[in-house]
Structure 1
Amino acid sequence: MHRDTIDRLLLALIVATLAASTIIAWRAPDYFQFSFAAEDRLVENGTALFLLVASLVLLSNAVRLAGRGAWRAALLTGAYALLFFLAAGEEISWGQRIFNWETGDFFAEHNYQGETNLHNLMVGEVRLARVLFGSVLTTVLLLYLVVLPLLYPRVAWLRRVADALAVPVPGLRHAVLALLASGVVAVIHVPRNWEVYELVFALLATAIFVAPQNPEKIR
């Protein structure tokens, strides 16, 4: 299947996800909170799945780059693939609830959900997730998803930096959907609404890595 076709299918899936989430939150808020967006249910498992798919796309891109001798870009892309693989594992606590294995002593003591993952660790009385995965990460993601695709064709130094780091640059279509998703999720006033945003990001990331604005630089 052509990469542009895959990109369009993923973007259509994002629109369908946002529409379904809005309707479910409006018509059945309890179902949204306790089933649809709950731990180990459709939204969370979908997020983990597409983070893994995004990782595999990056790994494929890294192999292609290595094949044409672009070793720096290949190594950077491989590192990005590893980050997304780690994110996929973290999303489902490395399969702890799937395989029903016990939490180790360290995580039982320092993880506020008693799970085997890093993003729910407590540092004193501070939740690591709130510091690193809250407003800071949201700001970084919006800069990447919305600002970078607008400035990349227009600002030469930024384009050079992005290309040197083998950063897959989102297209304008990805930026529009990122803004749409931010607005839709923000008005869903139901607990666990941001779980949907995580799923949308995983889908968007996969679409971007499949069909970026700078394909000749990252695959």
Structure 2
Amino acid sequence: MKTLTKTDKIAYIFLILVFALGIYYANTDLQFFDEVYTKEDGIVESITAILLLCSSILLISRFFKLQKYKKPLWKIGILAIACVFIFGAGEEISWGQRILNIESSEFFLENNAQAETNLHNLVVDGKKVNKIIFSQLLTAVLVVYLIITPFLYRKYEGIKKLANLFAVPIVQWQHTIAFLIVTGLLVFMGSERKWEVYELAFAAIFFLIFLNPLNKNIYTKQ
């Protein structure tokens, strides 16, 4: 495992503080945890959106810096990942709807669980899209990306070349361990709003992955 950078240390200390406060409030003042600490557009949700946006900005800046040295598939890969995180940031704050005090359209008023302009709270046949796609599917993707892919990348040259070709950043083991730890800490928060804290951890750790992946050479002029 590579030595932690200064940024890694700051980020992990920050996450320790966020989870320590979350566990404390979830067990001593659940109302404060639900209605202040993890409320919609509150501090936790806002930081999550900022971190997701920072990840996309980081990738886009690298695209413009390196695109003339890279092949088309590299460009497609890095822009696709950047778009995913822009989408995540927008969804996190309902595309600024509450901040700008914009009324939802009739479609979202009728089909969104929170009557907001976002996709992850849509209700289809009585089921929230968030639980079907943004929870179950995302969980499967995270398991593959954070646990399985690092093994395959290290063992198979074909997988290594494919990941590098599409500019897919490979996690270091510290990132995997961090995710496993924060996942385990969720059991100490007895509230459905705990997922907001988990999303913040997701955003912070992915920013660290993009900043300093195992295959950092994909962000060079090679």
Q: Same fold (TM over 0.5)?
A: yes
Q: Deviations over 1:1-20 (max 9, x none)?
A: xx943333223322222222
2:15 matched to 1:14?
yes
In the TM superposition, residue 141 of structure 1 has moved relative to its aligned partner by: 1.2
Any idea what SS the aligned residue of 1:75 has?
Answer: helix
For 2:65, the aligned partner's letter is R
Looking at structure 2, the residues matched to 78 and 183 of structure 1 have their Cα atoms a distance apart, in angstroms, of: 32
Q: TM-score, normalised by structure 2?
A: 0.90
Structure-2 change in CA distance of 1:69 and 1:159 (3 Å): closer
Q: CA deviation at 1:134?
A: 1.7
CA offsets per residue over residues 130-162 of structure 1, 9 Å max, x none? 110122211211221233234321233322332
* Alignment of structure 1 residues 136-215 onto 2, 5 Å: 136-215=137-216
2:83 is matched with: 82
Partner of 1:117: 118
Aligned to 1:29: 30
Alignment of 1:132 with 2:133, yes or no, is yes
Give the Cα–Cα distance (whole angstroms) in 1 for the partners of residues 62 and 13 of structure 2.
23
Give the whole-Å Cα distance in 2 for the aligned partners of 1:120 and 1:68: 40
The answer to whether the 8 Å contact 1:7/1:208 transfers is no
The question of whether the paired residues in 1 share the 8 Å contact of 2:49 and 2:89 is answered with yes
Any gaps of 5 or more consecutive residues in structure 1? none
User: Is the CA contact 2:170–2:209 (under 8 Å) kept in the aligned structure 1?
Assistant: yes
What residue number does 2:54 align with?
53
Q: Which runs of 5+ in 2 are unaligned?
A: none
Residues 125/144 of structure 1: CA separation in 2 closer, same or farther (3 Å cut): same
Whole-Å Cα distance in 2 between the matches of residues 100 and 181 of structure 1? 33
Q: Number of aligned pairs?
A: 217
The root-mean-square deviation of aligned C-alpha atoms, in Å, is 1.8
Cα distance in structure 1, aligned partners of 2:112 and 2:45: 19
Q: TM-score normalized by structure 1?
A: 0.91
CA pair 70-7 structure 1, distance change in 2 beyond 3 A: farther
| Stretch of structure 1 that moved more, 64-73 or 88-97 | 64-73
**Secondary structure class of the residue paired with 1:133:** helix
1:40-73, Cα deviation, whole Å (9 max, x unpaired): 1111111111111111111122223304234421
What letter matches 2:86 in structure 1?
F
8 Å contact from structure 1 (residues 149, 169) kept in 2: yes
SS in structure 1 at match of 2:82:
helix
Q: Counterpart amino acid of 1:210?
A: L
Question: Secondary structure in 1 aligned to 2:56?
Answer: helix
Tell me if the contact between 1:73 and 1:218 (Cα under 8 Å) persists in the aligned partners.
no
Q: Displacement, 1:218?
A: 4.0
Identity of aligned residues (%): 35
C-alpha contact 1:111 1:120 (8 A) present in aligned 2: yes
Is contact 1:51-1:202 (8 Å) kept?
yes
Which aligned pairs between 1:99-118 and structure 2 lie closer than 5 A?
99-118=100-119
